[in-house]
Amino acid sequence: MKFCLIGISLFLVSIVNAGVERFLKPISFPTHSGDDIQKKTSAFFSNSHSSHTSNSHTLDSGSQLLDRSMLEARLSELLKHRYQVEGKVLAFLGREWTPLKVSSNFQVKIRDCNPEELVGSTFARFSIWDKGQKKGDFSMPLRLAHMQDVLFSKVPLTRGATPSLGSFELREVDVLKSHANSVPASAKLSGYQIDSNLKPGNPLKWNLLSKTTLIEKGDLVNVFASGNGIYVTMKGVALENGVKDSTVRVKNISSNKEFSAKVLDGNSVKVHL
């Protein structure tokens, strides 16, 4: 009986082992090189916003977007040169501007402005060039400002007073608008007088000045005559009153000959031979 039970146990074990071996046969996996694995892994983790995805706003090396502020700055420079004025000219576009892709060496060429003078508003026609090729022709209303240092009074100035730079301070203002006709810092005030009372903090304007009489009728003056390589000085008598840069009649003391001369200062005139 004992031997019978042992035989049955061995038989069952052999059956079980045979079944297990059938399911434990080696499974073959496809082999991949390291490169293949890397590619699959990279593709698995990539998404639609990958850095390799093309972007319509990406600029090429050396390119830039000609936006509103850059175009306004370039037009400002060109208009200052066009009108040959002191100070700064600022141009502001009157319509929307779509940024344009250009290189760092782009050019803006102004064809014409209407009106053809420096005023607060103008209509400009211009073209944009890049690398020798025209990018397009454009028309645009512009608002302009002309910024200059002008004289503002620091102390009260009364009518008839002789203006001096010490009585003024400099302020940068737009002389195309409320400060039109203001006297710039570069102006020479010799030969002028205040023609109307001026309170502190107000700009000095040309209509508040009048030229003073530098030479009066009967004054003895120095006459400087030049021309054709000749330079002569003589004495003369003024036959009428004169302000700076005006023309007065003068009589030569020696010859009694009369002629016209330009007033230089309080005791000098100049005549061209």
- Residues 126 and 176 reside in one and the same domain: no
CATH number at residue 192: 3.90.1210.10
Tally of structural domains, the chain: 3
DSSP helix/strand/coil, 96: coil
- Residues 130 and 152 reside in one and the same domain: no
Confidence of residue 245 (pLDDT cuts 50, 70, 90): confident
- Residues 67 and 117 reside in one and the same domain: yes
H/E stretch holding 182: none
- Residues 207 and 237 reside in one and the same domain: no
- Residues 91 and 72 reside in one and the same domain: yes
Residues whose CB is less than 8 angstroms from the CB of residue 141 and which lie 6 or more positions away in sequence, other chains included: 93, 94, 95, 121, 122, 123, 124
Is the Cβ–Cβ distance between 122 and 144 less than 8 Å?
Answer: yes
Answer yes or no: is 220 within a domain.
yes
More reliable by pLDDT, 176 or 28: 176
Q: Is the model's pTM score more than 0.85? A: no
Is the Cβ–Cβ distance between 47 and 86 less than 8 Å?
Answer: no
Given 194, 211, 228, which residue is the final one in a domain?
211
Given 123, 146, 169, which residue is the final one in a domain?
146
Answer yes or no: is 25 within a domain.
no
64-113 pLDDT, tens per residue?
999 999 999 999 999 999 999 999 999 999 999 999 999 999 999 999 99
Token pair of 64, please?
Answer: 């830039």
- Residues 182 and 112 reside in one and the same domain: no
* Residue 188: predicted pLDDT: 86
- Residues 91 and 141 reside in one and the same domain: yes
Confidence of residue 2 (pLDDT cuts 50, 70, 90): very low
Answer yes or no: is 30 within a domain.
no
Confidence of residue 246 (pLDDT cuts 50, 70, 90): very high
- Residues 77 and 130 reside in one and the same domain: yes
Provide the percentage of residues in the chain whose pLDDT is more than 90. 65
- Residues 173 and 235 reside in one and the same domain: no
- Residues 151 and 80 reside in one and the same domain: no
More reliable by pLDDT, 272 or 45: 272
Answer yes or no: is 29 within a domain.
no
Given 165, 180, 211, which residue is the final one in a domain?
211
- Residues 103 and 173 reside in one and the same domain: no
Question: How many Cβ atoms are within 10 Å of 272's Cβ, its own excluded?
Answer: 11
* Residue 61: predicted pLDDT: 64
- Residues 173 and 103 reside in one and the same domain: no
Q: Which residue has the tokens 């100070």?
A: 87
Domain that holds residue 151: 147-211
Is the Cβ–Cβ distance between 194 and 233 less than 8 Å?
Answer: no
Q: Is the model's pLDDT at 35 over the cut of 80?
A: no
CATH number at residue 243: 2.30.30.760
Answer yes or no: is 232 within a domain.
yes
Answer yes or no: is 203 within a domain.
yes
- Average pLDDT, rounded, for the chain: 83
Answer yes or no: is 14 within a domain.
no
176-218 pLDDT, tens per residue?
988 999 999 999 888 899 999 999 999 999 999 998 889 999 9
Residues whose CB is less than 8 angstroms from the CB of residue 190 and which lie 6 or more positions away in sequence, other chains included: 244, 265
- Indicate the burial class of 198 (C-beta count within 10 angstroms; 0-12, 13-18, 19 or more): buried
Confidence of residue 59 (pLDDT cuts 50, 70, 90): low
* Residue 60: predicted pLDDT: 65
* Residue 191: predicted pLDDT: 83
Answer yes or no: is 123 within a domain.
yes
- Indicate the burial class of 166 (C-beta count within 10 angstroms; 0-12, 13-18, 19 or more): exposed
Per-residue b/e over 20-42, b at no fewer than 16 CB within 10 Å?
Answer: eeeeeeeeeeeeeeeeeeeeeee
C-alpha–C-alpha distance, residues 66 and 265, integer Å: 54
